[in-house]
Structure 1
């Protein structure tokens, strides 16, 4: 992964080279804390050990009995789905089994997907560490019922990814389902490079070893200086800009295959860093599409934003045909890749000219190795940001509050959070 922070030096807000050098002492101290956490496999920090601890052979063995299905449906939510979706969307090939994600409980969406699938040739992957996630278990019950109704033995088409104990573990043991362990000490949003994120990629035949090797390469670049580590350069710079008022981070990949990566990044950044009245709000954009919409705000709106521009340095290309249309002849003989690259650099320069801080993040290619570098690098950047901001990076108390409220409303227990729903202030306009 390559990170260019040159366009934050003169932005508004911006952070000077001198300020970065002064902050480097804090980065060194944070790196020592991170390395200590990794050495002891502490909760959260253990995620940064996944390039060494994840077992690709174990994952391949668990999914091998399913052969080459027509489709794979992952039933999970949040970190139980976004990492896997990022990998399968980025690596998608026409020959791959189709990958679908039931990561919401919208009844119309769930019904439409279930009814569209050939369930006898579909594999179901149910992902929940606790085995009690309401949305996940509800969707699984719907899928299981649909399989029963279609005369499909769901036990032959299902595997689970879960903790060592809980409802799903008991279900797997009762029905002799293949089961993968969710790794200890790894929060869901940091689990893309584990059993949680890589099982579907394994079914599709993607190279898990290259994915982990890319992550390991990025782990090797972590050091006590932001000037020696791309991940720390990004984490330290985003933190410094947030301190100076850049409280929105617009993640803008210039590759449609990385569109889901922006979704994954949004959860990682928001859930990890939004604590104690601090944090940086992630926004999702896609280049070059959103040059024609969101860029207007980023360039000319409030000076409270950082734009992160992401692209591969190499990609497949397609020539633009010659045309007789007046004013467009300059496009003939060029290519879509060259046009997209020009759009990327034009956006970067446009933001810099307006004094809007922006960071360039690049990988060699959107392949397994490149994705391993990118995902690991962003996770390490997030952990460093959390250390510098002194927040509890690996917890999510606000999320848990909402879960308890919903469970109480559904009769799953007596939770005081559910009482707050009845206290809602209303001002209805009809």
Structure 2
């Protein structure tokens, strides 16, 4: 992974950060690195995610999906239980991975109606085995399979923790299982069976994904000037302190769009605490140059724009044309046009006083996505250390879960009373 933060420096934009400030901040990065290394070595809660390239057993994942040759894989999970898997299968160009990570009944019915259920592997993922949305969707999927004459126990694999309802279900029906490692919040589990199993089932090279993660692990050095992940985490933190409270995250590769969704959860849920944290805004280059770029250039200067791309890609020639206004395109390639627009966007942002950072990987392949996922997790953990927040918890999310459970009659939860006390002021 490669980071270029030149366009985030104060020499380029008045809203940037100075080299001198980063030199001072690097003293704190050294201390944070020591804390992170201790957490990795001791497999402490959260920090254990940075040991996954070493700890994840690819053979166990392959064993869990052995004997299946699915036309489709349906992951039933939510948030961190699905976004990492989406990112990896998309980056590897693996077709046939679908997710039920929402409980929209219209979408659920439409998806189940079009899936070849007799050729679909259902991958149900919940560490606790009690996630309401996941279990509700799983019950619906089971019924749909039964209605289609498919024996669900022949087409289901469970990814869960050491105990809980899903583990008991798997034991009762002798279902293949993968274990969610201890010490991992869901959003940091991409390089575990949670993120890797669908890719393995569809024939993806999960070993290379882990090798990419291992390269990210080897790159952790105690200075933001020597470590790409720490450079991104530290510069993001420094810019937030200077008012960049939004992080517009813009991949320039269609197959990295799910990665933008994964990043949004990682950054928001990990760092949005104590009145701090950047709000992630998802976009896709070049599509959103024709819309959101207007805001990034001419709106409030409260943003860091993060631009992400692979350095190498397959390419397509642009045919010659007799249309004079388009003649400049003939003889070029789509990749050259994409690179020109990427670099023009960088320059246009700086010209408008908007700091931006470039993240690059060598290629968008299994190794590259593994390195990218690892690097962003390390960057997020460093940013959390510098901000002094509890990176691995999510108390605000838990509040909403308790309120919903109370409304559904799953127990007495004081949070549910707040819902009942809602002020109503309708206009109809």
Question: What TM bracket, shorter-length normalisation?
Answer: over 0.9
- 1:384 is matched with which residue? 382
Where do 5+ consecutive residues of structure 1 fail to align? none
CA shift at 1:29, angstroms?
Answer: 0.4
Q: Distance in 1 between matches of 2:212 and 2:219?
A: 11
Q: Distance in 1 between matches of 2:207 and 2:117?
A: 30
- 2:30 is matched with which residue? 28
CA shift at 1:426, angstroms?
Answer: 1.5
- 1:239 is matched with which residue? 237
Aligned partner (choices 55, 58, 66) of residue 53 of structure 1: 55
CA shift at 1:12, angstroms?
Answer: 3.6
Q: Distance in 1 between matches of 2:112 and 2:25?
A: 52
CA contact (8 A) 1:266 1:284 kept: yes
Q: Distance in 2 between matches of 1:139 and 1:239?
A: 38
Secondary structure at the counterpart of residue 66 of structure 2: helix
CA shift at 1:270, angstroms?
Answer: 0.1
What is the correspondence of 1:279-428 to structure 2 with a 5 Å cutoff?
A: 279-428=277-426
Secondary structure at the counterpart of residue 169 of structure 1: helix
Aligned partner (choices 254, 269, 273) of residue 267 of structure 2: 269
Aligned partner (choices 154, 162, 165) of residue 163 of structure 2: 165
- 2:70 is matched with which residue? 69
CA shift at 1:354, angstroms?
Answer: 1.2
Q: Distance in 2 between matches of 1:361 and 1:116?
A: 37
CA contact (8 A) 1:90 1:257 kept: yes
Q: Distance in 1 between matches of 2:287 and 2:376?
A: 23
Q: Distance in 1 between matches of 2:159 and 2:91?
A: 22
CA contact (8 A) 1:158 1:177 kept: yes
CA deviations over 1:82-136 (Å, ceiling 9, x no partner): 000011112124xx4x110000000000011111112111110000001010100
Q: Distance in 1 between matches of 2:324 and 2:306?
A: 35
Aligned partner (choices 197, 200, 209) of residue 199 of structure 1: 197
Q: Distance in 2 between matches of 1:273 and 1:127?
A: 24
Q: Distance in 2 between matches of 1:327 and 1:180?
A: 57
Aligned partner (choices 251, 254, 267) of residue 249 of structure 2: 251
- 1:5 is matched with which residue? 5
Q: Distance in 1 between matches of 2:146 and 2:199?
A: 27
- 2:137 is matched with which residue? 139
- 1:15 is matched with which residue? 17
CA contact (8 A) 1:26 1:388 kept: yes
Between 5-14 and 292-301, the greater mean CA deviation after superposition: 5-14
Q: Distance in 1 between matches of 2:230 and 2:355?
A: 17
Secondary structure at the counterpart of residue 318 of structure 1: coil
**Residue 86 of structure 2 is aligned to residue 85 of structure 1:** yes
CA shift at 1:364, angstroms?
Answer: 0.5
Q: Distance in 1 between matches of 2:15 and 2:276?
A: 17
Alignment RMSD = 0.7
Q: How many residue pairs align between the two structures?
A: 426
CA deviations over 1:47-106 (Å, ceiling 9, x no partner): 00001000111101110121x21111000000000000011112124xx4x110000000
CA contact (8 A) 2:73 2:202 kept: no
Q: Distance in 2 between matches of 1:88 and 1:12?
A: 40
CA contact (8 A) 2:56 2:191 kept: yes
CA shift at 1:193, angstroms?
Answer: 0.5
Where do 5+ consecutive residues of structure 2 fail to align? none
Runs of 4+ in 1 over 3 A off after TM superposition: none
CA contact (8 A) 1:12 1:303 kept: no
TM-score, length of structure 2 as denominator length: 0.99
CA shift at 1:392, angstroms?
Answer: 0.2
TM-score, length of structure 1 as denominator length: 0.98
CA contact (8 A) 1:2 1:361 kept: yes
CA contact (8 A) 1:124 1:157 kept: yes
CA contact (8 A) 1:322 1:333 kept: yes
CA deviations over 1:311-350 (Å, ceiling 9, x no partner): 0000010011111112110100001000000000000010
Q: Distance in 1 between matches of 2:217 and 2:241?
A: 26
